A and B are shown apart, each in its own frame.
Chain A
Amino acid sequence: MATVTLRDLRKSFGDTEVIKGIDLEIEDGKFCVLVGPSGCGKSTLLRMIAGLEDIDGGALSIGGEVMNDIAPAERGVSMVFQSYALYPHMTVYQNMSFGLKLAKESDETVEERVRNAAEILQITDLLDRKPKALSGGQRQRVAIGRAIVRDPKVFLFDEPLSNLDATLRVQMRLEISRLHRRLGTTMIHVTHDQVEAMTLADQIVVLNQGVVAQAGTPRDLYDRPANTFVAGFIGSPAMNLLDARVKGGSVVLEGTDARIEGVDAADRPDGPVTLGFRPEHAELRDDGDGLPFEVEVMEDLGDTCVLHGVLADGPQATLRIPAETALPARGDRMCVMPGDGRCHLFDRDSGQRI
């Protein structure tokens, strides 16, 4: 077990810098999820920690030891790959014991560790099978088992769930979470799925174009996104980000006179801002004391209902309301107050939280 520390980590492919100086501290035993859109550098960063990509600048240390030039197998890390990457010609047992045998562990140790890991993952029955005789979920377990037997200080998961179907994904997600609790080992998990990030993580690191957009607990990121990128990335449906203006201490939507209640802008100078509010934070008002919202598309999800439409005859917005109320239809006009007191303000130019 070990703390993973990244200091100004950098990586370029040719002339393109893909990792632009990342500082990060992952505490011992924490579950850290690296999340971001495609091409943000999250997989590259994980591969740098694993040792599969060279580090061009900065320092990576695991458990206090600088690992920049240490061979992958000697860093005390195990990796689970997106495609499982099992050795097709070996049985499950051979797959799991391959690393231990290369490390010249005694036969008893190998046997014991493989049996242990197989038991944890409930794949004892499969030890004699070849990978091609396994289902996707079973292969995934074997891949995780292969990582466990090496008793690493840090587990690295590279989008391990993205090849599974939706039901299995939820199930494996839960199992990874249980495994983390059981082993108590530091885990770093890469995903582009923000639900996976929110549910698994102690610490989420949102990456954007090779830099950390924000790092914090899932709750932090949801409640206090540091910038418009994180605001738009975390949460589904995405947060509404609308052009607005501070006018005499209150916030109005750009191009309208619609005033947003419950936003504290009393000490802000007048000027343009970006207003953010989550779809689920919209208050329906029957008394007419709010903004008009014209429904264009209605998506009934059963428990809630997602409405896409036009807010105050101006910008497009998305709202999510409980489905118990009478469902509105296309073309209906409703009266709402966005934000429900939980609005976010961002600088219009820099996108940073105000």
Chain B
Amino acid sequence: MAARHTSPAAKIGFWLLVAVLLVILLFPFYYAVITSFKSGSAIFEVDYLPAALSAGNYTSIFAEQPFGRNILNSLVVSVAVVGISLFLGLTAALALGRFRFKGRRMMLLAVLSVSMFPQVAVLSGMFELIRVLGLFNNPGGLILSYLIFTLPFTVWVLTSFIRDLPAEVEEAAIMDGAKPWTLLTRIFLPMMWPAMVTTGLLAFIVAWNEFLFALTFTLSNDQRTVPVAIALITGGSEFEVPWGRIMAASVIVTVPLIALVLIFQRRIVSGLTAGAVKG
């Protein structure tokens, strides 16, 4: 109704606001991209349009330090975190969402409360734990510690999602002879793709961008993940901050995230359960 009667002025205003919003959101990233293609002292000139493109920063981060190795570390850690979180989250969600047992609420609250502590509070305890387990300076230590952040929301989101799935579909499968494992993999899992993709993506982003634990639990350059590696990129002297290379590295690590979101945005569809019950 309202859309039909909007005046041209209102339309222009609307798009103007959209433009302002986009500029605010995208300008920092745009500027990072431009800066990453500059070389030498051109970095300190303020340009809003790319002048001369130079890939020097991109080649030098791979040449002067193990940045490829850092990306691989990040990838291994993030993928493992996503995989473990989703597996544990899904099995926990099935138990918490579909079965009644004593202490179920308590357990859900306990899971949630884990995520309330600030990172610094668990840092020293976590450090001891990782040393005892022999995971210091090892991607395994990061994977273990990142589960602290990813499991609570994974369990919660998947639990509430699984609880909303129609019970009769589950019962129909039981009547059809499905055992719990079949039920999980053949019935629940396909219906839960939207929730799995969303939580998996969030877990990936958390693991990919995490800094504090990665800084504390790794020592050598070739065990570091990208956020730490970027922060520790050094210039020729202690007075030089190599902005160009930092920007180039940032752009490189942002691209996978953007790609993931673009790939999976089609799968983040609601209404996958439409048709199961009367709709």
Name A residues whose Cβ lies closer than 8 Å to a Cβ of B.
Answer: 50-52, 71-74, 77-79, 81-89, 98-99, 102-103, 130-134, 136, 139, 146, 150, 163
Chain A hits for B190, CB < 8 A: 87, 89
Q: Closest residue to B279 on the A side, CB-wise?
A: A132
Within the complex, the shortest CB–CB distance from B246 to chain A, in Å, comes to 45
The answer to whether A81 and B168 touch across the interface, beta carbons within 8 angstroms, is: yes
Within the complex, the shortest CB–CB distance from B13 to chain A, in Å, comes to 39
Chain A hits for B278, CB < 8 A: 83-84, 136, 139, 163
What are 9 inter-chain pairs, A to B, with CB distance below 8 A? A73-B174, A86-B276, A88-B169, A89-B272, A98-B173, A102-B182, A133-B275, A136-B278, A146-B172
> A87 and B177 in contact (CB under 8 A), knowing A81-B168, A81-B172, A82-B168?
no
Chain A hits for B187, CB < 8 A: 87
Interface residue B191 (Cβ < 8 Å from any Cβ of A): yes
Within the complex, the shortest CB–CB distance from B234 to chain A, in Å, comes to 52
Interface residue B65 (Cβ < 8 Å from any Cβ of A): no
Chain B hits for A132, CB < 8 A: 271, 274-275, 279
| 0/1 interface trace, chain B 60-93, chain A, CB 8 Å (1 if under) | 0000000000000000000000000000000000
Of A73, A74, A83, A98, the residue contacting B166 (CB under 8 A) is: A83
User: Complex: how many Å from CA A106 to CA B191?
Assistant: 27
Chain A hits for B182, CB < 8 A: 102
The answer to whether B168 and A88 touch across the interface, beta carbons within 8 angstroms, is: no
User: Complex: how many Å from CA A84 to CA B271?
Assistant: 17
Number of A-B contacts (CB under 8 A): 87
The answer to whether A88 and B191 touch across the interface, beta carbons within 8 angstroms, is: yes
Name B residues whose Cβ lies closer than 8 Å to a Cβ of A.
Answer: 166, 168-169, 171-178, 182, 186-187, 190-191, 271-279
Of B169, B174, B191, B279, the residue contacting A52 (CB under 8 A) is: B174
Within the complex, the shortest CB–CB distance from B217 to chain A, in Å, comes to 40
The answer to whether A83 and B176 touch across the interface, beta carbons within 8 angstroms, is: no
User: Complex: how many Å from CA A131 to CA B186?
Assistant: 16
Of A73, A77, A85, A99, the residue contacting B169 (CB under 8 A) is: A85
Question: Which 9 pairs across A and B sit closest by C-beta, in order of nearness?
Answer: A132-B275, A73-B177, A99-B176, A131-B275, A85-B168, A83-B277, A89-B190, A88-B276, A85-B172
The answer to whether A72 and B275 touch across the interface, beta carbons within 8 angstroms, is: no
The answer to whether A81 and B276 touch across the interface, beta carbons within 8 angstroms, is: no
Q: Closest residue to B171 on the A side, CB-wise?
A: A52
Chain B hits for A86, CB < 8 A: 169, 172, 275-276
The answer to whether B175 and A79 touch across the interface, beta carbons within 8 angstroms, is: yes
User: Complex: how many Å from CA A89 to CA B173?
Assistant: 13
Name the residue among A85, A102, A134 with the largest chain B CB count within 10 angstroms.
Answer: A85
The answer to whether B173 and A87 touch across the interface, beta carbons within 8 angstroms, is: yes
User: Complex: how many Å from CA A88 to CA B165?
Assistant: 11
Within the complex, the shortest CB–CB distance from A140 to chain B, in Å, comes to 9
